[in-house]
Amino acid sequence: MFRVLAAVTAAIGMLTPVVAIGAGVLPTGSAPSTAPAVTTPAAAATSPAGSATATPVAPTTQVLEVPVPGGTREVRIYRPAVADSASLPIVYFLHGVPGSDLEPEQAGVLADLTTAFESGYEPFVLAVPDGNGSRADTEWADSLDGVDHVERDIVDDIIPAVEGTNVRDRAHRAIAGFSMGGYGAANLASGHPELFGQMVSIEGYFHIDDPSGVFGQDPATVAANSPDQHADELVNTRVMILDGTEDSEPACIGEAARYSKILDSAGVYHEDVIDSGTHSWDFVRAEGSSWIGFLNGGWPDDAPTTAVSIT
């Protein structure tokens, strides 16, 4: 139950909204039945880290160097032209491998968000941490040997640094990701259900794929970081799975359908979109109306809808 697969045709710059609703009742709010198309405007302005918290007159991209054990971790934060508050939703977006916190901006995702919000979608903050470490592939996790601690950095250091005094509750906080980031989003959401009210995995996977030995083949660590073994932790979380029909990444082939069945068995509310596309940021952008609309359907009724100018 709670499973709908949609197959539609979409192209960059000509997005068809897809909101595939499962058989459950949405926890709060509802996605628009006909969402506006998302196109690419001019790039957002950039503000330095530590800038004033006055409401921007335009969207801004802030760069934070967040202190973490053993160093710092960079986070790029897209802030819409809305006053920051604990009721402004925030999405933590995890990149793939190889990749960095620059990827969504370089791919045009941030520009798409600007247009989406101007077109009527409810705005949210998008925070993109850098998930790199000593290994080529960190899996957005804490390594068995203790050298890499990406999950701990996000939970203990990055979320507090990004949100500051405007700490969100789980209803105003979501996690999403592409490819390895899609795995990371599922792993962190199931490992920390108290933190995230929504999870979106775009062309991700839900089993262990560990070419860099993050988990050291330790059975307990492998089990703890296998999202397909912890779907029951998401019973109070809204989940979206997106996958491209031409996704040829070995770790991802067949994963959307397999995980969908697992979520069904666990009674988790989820929406699935299977659409034309390859394993690429182009697919992330082409499905913007799907995942942005999905997130909008889960924000509380007090999520802000009107931009506020500096006075």
The parent domain of residue 104 ranges over: 45-296
The whole-number pLDDT of residue 90 equals 98
- pLDDT of 105 > 70? The answer is yes
Amino acid at 288: G
Total structural domains within the chain: 1
In CATH, what number is assigned to the domain containing residue 134?
Answer: 3.40.50.1820
What does the pLDDT look like over 278-295, one tens digit per residue?
999 999 999 999 999 999
What order of strands is seen across the sheet that includes strand 71-79?
Answer: 45-47, 60-68, 71-79, 125-129, 90-94, 173-178, 198-202, 238-244, 270-275
Return the SS3 of 99.
Answer: coil
Integer angstrom CA distances of residue 152 from 127, 140, 157, 178: 16, 9, 8, 20
The whole-number pLDDT of residue 103 equals 94
Q: Does residue 174 form part of some domain?
A: yes
Contact 183, 201 (CB under 8 A): yes
Q: Does residue 243 form part of some domain?
A: yes
What does the pLDDT look like over 113-155, one tens digit per residue?
999 999 999 999 999 999 999 998 999 999 999 999 999 999 9
The whole-number pLDDT of residue 197 equals 97
Integer angstrom CA distances of residue 276 from 35, 100, 242: 19, 25, 11
Q: Does residue 311 form part of some domain?
A: no
The whole-number pLDDT of residue 115 equals 94
What does the pLDDT look like over 34-80, one tens digit per residue?
333 333 333 333 333 443 355 666 899 999 999 999 999 999 999 99
Amino acid at 292: I
Contact 48, 14 (CB under 8 A): no
The whole-number pLDDT of residue 302 equals 84
d(CA 206, CA 225): 9
Q: Does residue 23 form part of some domain?
A: no
**In angstroms, how far is CA 81 from the centroid of its own chain?**
20
The whole-number pLDDT of residue 252 equals 96
What does the pLDDT look like over 226-271, one tens digit per residue?
999 999 999 999 999 999 999 999 999 999 999 999 999 999 999 9
